[in-house]
Amino acid sequence: MKKGKDNFIYKSCLIASLLIFIWAVFFKEGFEFMVNNFLEWISNNVSWFYSALMISFFIFCIWLAFSKFRNIKLGDDDSKPEFSNITWFAMLFSAGIGIGLVFWGVAEPLTHYIKPEGMEGLTEGAKVFAFKKVFLHWGISAWACYSILALALAYMHFRKKKPALISSLLIPLIGDKGATGAIGKTVDILTIFATIAGIVTSLGMGTLQINSGLNYLFGIPENKLIQTSIIVIITCLFLISACTGVKKGIKYLSNLNMLLAVMLLIAAMIVGPFNEMVYNLFVGIKHYAIALVGENNNIFQSGNWYKQWTLFYWGWWIAWAPFVAIFIARVSKGRTIKEFIGGVLCVPAGFCLIWFAVFGTIGMNVPHNVAEKAIEKVETTFFVIFENYPMGLAISILAIILLFTFFITSADSATYVLAMIASNGNNNPKNSRKIILGIIQSALTLALLFAGGLSMVQNASILMALPFGVIMLFTMIAFRKELYNSEIKNSICYEKQINNKKINNKIKEKYLEDKAN
């Protein structure tokens, strides 16, 4: 049964990926028309669902962190974490953030500052708006999306001994037979395509920014040949990392990635206005926190700005959730629910807020004419801005290196997870499967880039997030049911057994006493 399911999911993935590739490459106009129309329908009819989901993830995480289940371990009661806190945080950071941190670090807050929604740009009010929104898109609300799925999966896999598959999360609702049957197979296939859509978005953005950075700094041309070469080189590197496994290549590269990111952050703090960075961080957090109980909980937001930014981000986070969740679950054995939520929800989100406060301030601190020129092309915004700072060239080169390592760590994690799903949740999938699925990711990245550029890869994540968002909604319901059924009922039964044992001992003692008399 497992072997059949294994082959069915794997073969379905290969066939569907090939069809999408052919459609995007050889029938470009029809593919683009379909994607754009479907996206327009989502924007006009169900965008509220994305906002409602993100709010529910955040509320569910807070409830779990303070609930009676907070001290339950993700594994047996005596299990210990496999990785140190620093390595664990590095893996969370590398798998969960990806290239977007460098791509949008300067570009997003600067764009919001110049073109805010419903107000004049380049003002103090616009600055508050910029940090409030960028903190929304990259803060705790976003990381709650990962936390829910990863936590439920780690619980089901390590504590309940179920396969490390998204379909396992629905067992409390549909049973073991349902999870291994048609419903489970459909869920796992959708997981694969949501994963591919999310990672293709990140890889596409990274390829464009690497190419644009090399062009801006060294005059290397921007064309399909260079972009293809970048993807081929990166593909070879991330496949080598993925094939060495979690405890070797992925672990070491994640630590390297974290080190390079911290180096880039410190360099930006040194050359930029540090006091203003700190001020913008706290002002941004203040207004972000206020907005969490106000405008950001309005699920019926609409308008072009919302569709272009917040809807894209919610779709991107949800599309990234399956592969990031499976990877985070894989490296989180032995943690308690409270420790897990604190680590996954707060530490990476806190780093993101600091990152955007620093690089957003860097962008806003240049002359207005330079800032307006910089956002004309988001792929080169980072490099245009840092040209106006000391050590700008060195920092830009470090950013390109970080883009490469982010590219590798995101793709190797995704490839490992895809191979796990296609191997029925096996924690040690075959290298041949990793190689084939890794090549599929890269091929689809090229196909979408050539079909419509950055907008096409962004749209892909929003589209795949819709069906997977429904799965995540049922996951929360199933996880709550499983916690109550397994943990509370087991505790009650255990207490009854103890009480019965005490009663039996008393009866036995009374019997022996009567017999002696």
The residue that leads in pLDDT, 344 or 113, is 113
**Range with the lowest mean pLDDT among 244-253, 402-411, 493-502?**
493-502
Do residues 379 and 403 make contact, with C-beta atoms less than 8 angstroms apart? Answer: no
Do residues 239 and 407 make contact, with C-beta atoms less than 8 angstroms apart? Answer: no
Domain boundaries, given as residue ranges, for the chain: 7-480
Counting every residue written for the chain, the total comes to 517
pLDDT reading at 377 higher than 60: yes
DSSP string, 428-458: S--HHHHHHHHHHHHHHHHHHHHHHHHHHHH
DSSP state of 307: I
Residue 461 — left, alpha, or beta (φ > 0 → left; ψ -120 to 50 → alpha)?
Answer: alpha
**Residue 73, strand partner residues:** 336
Q: Give the pLDDT of residue 150.
A: 93
Q: What is the 3-state secondary structure (H, E, C) of 237-302?
A: HHHHHHHHCHHHHHHHHHHHHHHHHHHHHHHHHHHCCHHHHHHHHHHHHHHHHHHHCCHHHCCCCC
Residue 19 CA to residue 9 CA, distance in Å, equals 15
Q: Give the pLDDT of residue 381.
A: 96
Residue 128 CA to residue 285 CA, distance in Å, equals 10
Could you tell me the pLDDT band of residue 505, with boundaries at 50, 70 and 90? low
- For residue 98, the SS3 value is coil
Do residues 396 and 271 make contact, with C-beta atoms less than 8 angstroms apart? Answer: no
Sequence-distant (≥ 6) Cβ neighbours of residue 238 within 8 angstroms: 407, 408, 409, 411, 412, 415, 438
Strand intervals (E) in 91-245: none
The residue that leads in pLDDT, 460 or 505, is 460
pLDDT reading at 73 higher than 80: yes
7-480 classified as CATH 3.30.470: no
- For residue 184, the SS3 value is helix
Nearest to 83 by CA among 264, 323, 254, 232: 254
Sequence-distant (≥ 6) Cβ neighbours of residue 92 within 8 angstroms: 328, 331, 343, 344, 347, 348
Distance of CA 250 to the CA centre of its chain: 16
Q: Give the pLDDT of residue 95.
A: 65
Nearest to 443 by CA among 97, 203, 95: 203
**Residue 336, strand partner residues:** 73
- For residue 236, the SS3 value is helix
Residue 62 CA to residue 56 CA, distance in Å, equals 10
Q: Give the pLDDT of residue 515.
A: 45
Averaged pLDDT of the chain: 85
Q: Give the pLDDT of residue 96.
A: 67
Nearest to 211 by CA among 415, 17, 454: 454
pLDDT reading at 517 higher than 50: no
pLDDT in tens, 433-492: 889 988 988 898 888 888 776 677 677 777 878 888 999 999 999 999 999 888 776 655
Do residues 84 and 258 make contact, with C-beta atoms less than 8 angstroms apart? Answer: no
Do residues 74 and 333 make contact, with C-beta atoms less than 8 angstroms apart? Answer: yes
Q: Give the pLDDT of residue 394.
A: 95
**Is 199 exposed, middle or buried, given 0-12, 13-18 or 19+ CB atoms closer than 10 A?**
buried
Q: Give the pLDDT of residue 2.
A: 47
- How many CA atoms within 13 Å lie on the side-chain side of 259? 7
Could you tell me the pLDDT band of residue 1, with boundaries at 50, 70 and 90? very low
Q: Give the pLDDT of residue 501.
A: 52
Residue 238 CA to residue 253 CA, distance in Å, equals 10
- Dihedral, CA of residue 209, residue 210, residue 211 and residue 212, to nearest 10: 50
Residue 481 CA to residue 29 CA, distance in Å, equals 46
Q: What mean pLDDT comes out for the span 60-87?
A: 90
Q: Give the pLDDT of residue 106.
A: 97
pLDDT reading at 398 higher than 90: yes
Q: Give the pLDDT of residue 490.
A: 60
pLDDT reading at 247 higher than 80: no
Sequence-distant (≥ 6) Cβ neighbours of residue 41 within 8 angstroms: none
Do residues 493 and 233 make contact, with C-beta atoms less than 8 angstroms apart? Answer: no
Strand intervals (E) in 27-77: none
Nearest to 40 by CA among 378, 308, 296: 308
pTM: 0.86
Q: Give the pLDDT of residue 503.
A: 47
Q: Give the pLDDT of residue 295.
A: 67
pLDDT in tens, 251-286: 777 778 888 999 999 999 999 999 999 999 999 999
Q: Give the pLDDT of residue 507.
A: 46
Q: What mean pLDDT comes out for the span 90-117?
A: 86
Q: Which two tokens stand for residue 195?
A: 């994963």
N- to C-terminal Cα distance for the chain?
64
Residue 503 CA to residue 510 CA, distance in Å, equals 11
DSSP state of 489: H
Q: What mean pLDDT comes out for the span 44-66?
A: 90
Q: What mean pLDDT comes out for the span 181-187?
A: 90
One-letter amino acid of 215: N
User: Within a 10 A sphere around the Cβ of 466, how many other Cβ atoms?
Assistant: 18
Q: Give the pLDDT of residue 212.
A: 92
